[in-house]
């Protein structure tokens, strides 16, 4: 056990604080986990393979792309490359979150990076921004329920996929954009927020229409990040030494 867990009550609280924050993520991702399992079996995966893919890759959009290409009998190396392309945005997450968790023991960091999803990164960044420590126990409380539900629900979808009701009427296809919009707005007090959002939005839409998915994510993200790098430091609020 680490120094963080010396006071056990405190650590328990941290864990449950994380679990509380994980609940919207669990709700929002549940339909996609089930849908993934169903589509995976539909595209020629076994139930065990669908389960393994969720457990080992743990990245919804990339898994969807992977099974879609698999169903179209695309060459294996191209499937792996596509998974890499869809997940490429995590490079930016890992560069950003590294500053917050560098004090963890190495094994905890290795585990932390394994569950570094979009909401995991956004919520951990928001906590760091509010001045509270991003501890391993809290981080695990946030990430573990999402992971466990994701893997189990993928398996359930693979087994019971044929019974999925009308997903459009339930709004399932648009739950994630709603959730991600909420996360974007949560960062609105950061310096440069509006210009970064504008640059990323415009660049991703243009890239979506021209280069196509999934590259619009990386292209749009790099546009926003570059803008923040290029603008003079007094706009970005960093580098001001008291």
Q: Which residue, 9 or 77, has its beta carbon nearer to another protein?
A: 77
Q: Which is nearer to another protein, 89 or 157 (CB)?
A: 89
- Closest distance to another protein from the beta carbon of 72 (Å): 13
Report in angstroms how near the CB of residue 102 gets to another protein at its nearest. Answer: 7
Cα–Cα distance between 171 and 194 in angstroms, integer?
Answer: 28
Shortest approach of another protein to residue 141 CB, angstroms? 15
Residue keyed to tokens 């392309």 = 85
Q: Which is nearer to another protein, 161 or 216 (CB)?
A: 216
What are the two backbone dihedrals, phi and then psi, of residue 94, each rounded to the nearest 5 degrees?
-65, -35
User: For residue 12, what are the contacts with CB-CB under 8 A and spacing of at least 6?
Assistant: none
Nearest-approach distance from CB 7 to another protein, in angstroms: 27
Based on CB atoms, which residue is closest to another protein, 118 or 153?
118
| Smallest distance, another protein to C-beta of residue 8, A | 27
C-alpha closest to that of 224 among 239, 213, 236, 240: 236
Q: Which CB sits closer to another protein, 11 or 196?
A: 196
């Amino acid at each position: 056990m680490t120094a963080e867990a010396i006071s056990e009550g405190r650590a328990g609280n941290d864990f449950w604080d994380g679990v509380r924050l994980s609940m919207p993520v669990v709700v929002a991702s549940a339909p996609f986990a089930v849908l993934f399992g169903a589509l995976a079996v539909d595209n020629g995966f076994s139930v065990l393979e669908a389960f393994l893919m969720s457990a080992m890759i743990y990245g919804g959009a990339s898994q969807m792309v992977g099974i879609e290409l698999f169903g179209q009998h695309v060459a294996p190396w191209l499937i792996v490359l596509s998974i890499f392309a869809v997940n490429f945005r995590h490079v930016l997450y890992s560069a950003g979150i590294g500053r917050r968790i560098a004090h963890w023991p190495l094994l905890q960091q290795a585990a932390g990076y394994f569950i570094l999803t979009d909401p995991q990164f956004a919520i951990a960044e928001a906590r760091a921004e509010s001045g509270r420590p991003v501890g391993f126990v809290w981080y695990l409380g946030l990430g573990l329920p999402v992971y466990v539900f994701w893997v189990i629900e993928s398996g359930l979808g693979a087994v019971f996929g044929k019974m999925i009701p009308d997903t459009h009427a339930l709004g399932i296809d648009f739950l994630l954009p709603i959730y991600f919009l909420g996360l974007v707005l949560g960062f609105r007090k950061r310096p440069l927020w509006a210009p970064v959002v504008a640059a990323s939005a415009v660049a991703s839409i243009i890239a979506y229409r021209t280069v196509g998915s999934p590259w619009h994510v990386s292209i749009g993200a790099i546009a926003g990040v570059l803008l923040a790098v290029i603008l003079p430091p007094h706009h970005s609020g960093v580098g001001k030494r008291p």
